[in-house]
């Protein structure tokens, strides 16, 4: 952080403390920081939808949206306006409180988890000791929105979608969690800033390449993205748990899905690809936040690429992959890494 | 001051959620209240600076146990009229069990020496401290607990994999081992008679 910026911040703190007192200023300042964090996240969520349609369009040799604004650049805003002004239908026999709570419970965890993501040295909202566990804990809450939507809608298709998704997310959380253990072992810390700093010599993707692949496939499954989007398999389940939702309520589900996608891409870059560190030393004149953005964008591109390329998995194949392939490999790799660290005398 | 306010907020929500668990008529709502109670308990742990316990509570109880609870409860088909019929009959037993649990809680809680300061000095991470005692001082109980869990795990696998007549299951190796001779027969059908074995 540059000196002038620091001076401006200091005078701002002094002004605020003098105006409303210490306690309130801390509260207000935290709220301001949360807004500064969430505004770009929501912006990314808005524009990843355009990126998705453009990229899939490109891969399928068509234009994608190109009517609203130059190059379709205003399309997400048009979509958002449409969703906001549509009528929210609440079917007669739904469990109203559960039905209305579910979309919020999907979106909120996806946004809360951003609190511990470090964008550059020192630029993090909450630099807590258990960053990785915090993200695991928060992302494990995401399943409730979907399961509640499925049950609250009082619709067979929704219910089946909700159940599928619950089983899928719980299973893949296990394999995702196991891929994070070697990262923690190598970094010697659960703090995400420490994890990035531990990758100064060599990125963790080098010793942990199989785990990086497993991590990526697991998060694709965990975010219910194609080819693992069985909870909303339209050929079998109409739209799965979203079937009964309309207007912004269904929009919130999609926002949650995209926010999660972006979050796990940032997580993957931080845990395996060196976070804000440049790939080679002499490139460190470029700010770290840009490197992190580039890495996360690459992972996001792979998300979209996969969606345009692969057909949907069958449910039993999905479960077999998670429990019988990924879990043993990651367990074995934990053992290998532990043995390696012991032999090299690093533990 | 802020911590105190937060404490009262979280504990009030916890107590209300706990009341909701036993009073709501819909059993799915009960489980959802239970989840709310878990979450607020985790928040209370954070106020005690026991952030590892909080995270584990959320991951294990909210992320896994409660999801399976919800899973089972959603698929149960219970009529509430049936359940309420036995209310008076079972009341003495229920009161007795409740009294025993309450007595145990009182005994345990009175044994704790006040005042309880925040668990650890903030300089050493919580996870490190717990790891240190868990793998030295409490190694044996830790290993015994994990062994019991392993046995339970194997038990679950064995129960799932036993062969039962009523359950149809796919055995992929048998499917793949099928040959043309076993599954297709070429029959000459006389006109007007249909295919016969």
Smallest CA-to-CA distance from A72 within A56, A86, A51, A90 is with: A51
Q: How far is CA A315 from CA A221, A227, A272, A326, in A?
A: 11, 11, 29, 16
User: What would the pLDDT profile of A262-290 be if each residue is shown by its tens digit?
Assistant: 999 999 998 888 888 888 777 777 787 88
* Beta-carbon separation of B58 and A137 below 8 A: yes
Q: What is the distance between the alpha carbons of residues B151 and B142, in angstroms, rounded to a whole number? A: 14
B1-78, what's its fold? 1.20.120
Residue to substitute from B24, B51, B55, interface A, most A β-carbons within 10 A: B55
Q: Are residues A122 and A241 in the same domain?
A: yes
- Which stretch of DSSP H or E encloses residue A188? none
Q: What is the distance between the alpha carbons of residues B100 and B97, in angstroms, rounded to a whole number? A: 5
Residue B120: pLDDT over 60: no
Q: Are residues A312 and A334 in the same domain?
A: yes
| Domain of residue A339, residue span | 86-343
**pLDDT value for A301:** 92
Residue B118 pLDDT class (50, 70, 90 cuts): low
**pLDDT value for B147:** 94
Q: Are residues A158 and A287 in the same domain?
A: yes
Q: Are residues A191 and A252 in the same domain?
A: yes
pTM of the model: 0.82
Q: Are residues A202 and A73 in the same domain?
A: no
Q: Are residues A258 and A204 in the same domain?
A: yes
Q: Are residues A148 and A121 in the same domain?
A: yes
Number of domains in chain A: 2
* Beta-carbon separation of B62 and A141 below 8 A: yes
Signed CA dihedral, A231, A232, A237, A240: sign only = positive
- Of A47, A62, A85, which closes a domain? A85
- 3-state SS class at B193: coil
**ipTM value of the model?**
0.80
Q: Evaluate whether A268 touches A299 at the Cβ level (below 8 Å).
A: yes
Q: Are residues A51 and A178 in the same domain?
A: no
Is the minimum CB–CB distance between A194 and chain B shorter than 8 Å? Answer: no
User: What would the pLDDT profile of B123-172 be if each residue is shown by its tens digit?
Assistant: 677 777 888 888 888 899 999 999 999 999 999 989 887 877 777 777 78
Q: Evaluate whether A245 touches A83 at the Cβ level (below 8 Å).
A: no
User: What would the pLDDT profile of B18-72 be if each residue is shown by its tens digit?
Assistant: 998 888 877 888 888 998 998 899 988 888 888 888 888 888 888 888 888 888 8
* Beta-carbon separation of A189 and B64 below 8 A: no
- 3-state SS class at A88: coil
Q: Are residues A68 and A91 in the same domain?
A: no
Q: Are residues A6 and A30 in the same domain?
A: yes
Of all residues in chain B, the one with the smallest CA distance to A135 is B55
**pLDDT value for B122:** 55
Of all residues in chain B, the one with the smallest CA distance to A169 is B63
- DSSP-H helix ranges across A86-130: 96-112
* Beta-carbon separation of A163 and B26 below 8 A: no
**pLDDT value for B146:** 93
**pLDDT value for A196:** 86
- Of A56, A85, A114, which closes a domain? A85
Question: Which residues does chain B have within 8 Å of residue A190's beta carbon, measured at their own beta carbons?
Answer: 125, 127
Q: Are residues A158 and A100 in the same domain?
A: yes
Pair of tokens at residue B17: 């959620």
Residues of chain A with pLDDT under 70: 1-2, 231, 233-234, 346-347
Q: Are residues A181 and A282 in the same domain?
A: yes
* Beta-carbon separation of A159 and B70 below 8 A: no
Whose tokens are 């009030």? That residue is B12
Q: What is the distance between the alpha carbons of residues A121 and B185, in angstroms, rounded to a whole number? A: 73
């Amino acid at each position: 952080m540059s000196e002038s910026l620091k001076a401006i911040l200091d005078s701002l703190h002094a002004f605020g403390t003098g105006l409303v007192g210490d306690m309130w200023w801390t509260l207000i300042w935290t709220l301001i920081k949360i807004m500064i964090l969430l505004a770009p996240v929501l912006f990314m969520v808005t524009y990843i939808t355009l990126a998705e349609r453009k990229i899939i369009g490109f891969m399928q040799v068509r234009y994608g949206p190109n009517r609203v604004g130059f190059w379709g650049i205003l399309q997400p805003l048009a979509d958002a306006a449409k969703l906001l002004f549509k009528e929210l239908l609440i079917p007669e026999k739904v469990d109203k409180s559960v039905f209305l709570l579910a979309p919020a419970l999907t979106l909120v965890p996806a946004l809360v988890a951003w609190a511990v993501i470090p964008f550059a040295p020192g630029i993090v909202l909450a630099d807590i000791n258990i960053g990785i566990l915090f993200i695991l804990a928060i992302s494990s809450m995401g399943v409730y929105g979907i399961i509640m939507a499925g049950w609250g809608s009082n619709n067979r298709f929704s219910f089946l979608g909700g159940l599928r998704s619950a089983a899928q997310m719980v299973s893949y959380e296990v394999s995702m969690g196991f891929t994070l253990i070697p990262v923690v072992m190598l970094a010697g810390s659960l703090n995400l800033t420490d994890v990035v700093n531990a990758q100064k010599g060599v990125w963790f993707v080098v010793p942990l390449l199989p785990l990086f692949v497993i991590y990526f496939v697991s998060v694709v499954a965990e975010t219910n993205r194609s080819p693992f989007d069985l909870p909303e398999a339209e050929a079998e389940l109409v739209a799965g748990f979203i079937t009964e939702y309309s207007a912004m309520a269904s929009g919130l589900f999609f926002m949650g899905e995209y926010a999660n996608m972006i979050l796990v891409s940032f997580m993957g870059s931080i845990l395996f690809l060196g976070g804000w560190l440049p790939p080679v030393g002499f490139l460190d004149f470029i700010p770290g936040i840009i490197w992190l953005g580039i890495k996360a964008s690459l992972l996001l591109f792979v998300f979209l690429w996969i969606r345009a390329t692969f057909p949907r998995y069958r449910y039993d194949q999905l479960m077999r992959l998670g429990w019988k392939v990924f879990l043993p490999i990651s367990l074995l790799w934990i053992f290998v890494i532990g043995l390696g660290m012991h032999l090299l005398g690093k533990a | 001051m802020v911590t105190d306010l937060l404490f009262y907020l979280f504990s009030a929500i916890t107590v209300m959620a706990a009341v909701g668990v036993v009073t709501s008529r819909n059993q799915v709502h009960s489980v959802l209240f239970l989840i709310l109670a878990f979450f607020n308990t985790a928040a209370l742990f954070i106020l005690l600076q026991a952030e590892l316990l909080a995270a584990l509570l959320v991951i294990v109880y909210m992320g896994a146990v409660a999801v399976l609870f919800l899973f089972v409860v959603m698929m149960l088909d219970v009529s509430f009229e049936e359940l309420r019929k036995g209310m008076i009959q079972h009341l003495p037993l229920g009161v007795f069990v409740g009294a025993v649990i309450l007595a145990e809680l009182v005994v345990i809680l009175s044994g704790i020496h006040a005042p309880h300061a925040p668990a650890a000095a903030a300089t050493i991470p919580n996870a490190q401290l717990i790891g240190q005692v868990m793998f030295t001082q409490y190694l044996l109980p830790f290993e015994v607990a994990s062994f019991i869990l392993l046995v339970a795990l194997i038990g679950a696998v064995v129960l799932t994999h036993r062969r039962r007549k009523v359950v149809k299951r796919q055995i992929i190796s048998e499917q793949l081992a099928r040959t043309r001779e076993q599954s297709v027969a070429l029959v000459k059908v006389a006109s007007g008679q249909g295919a016969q074995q």
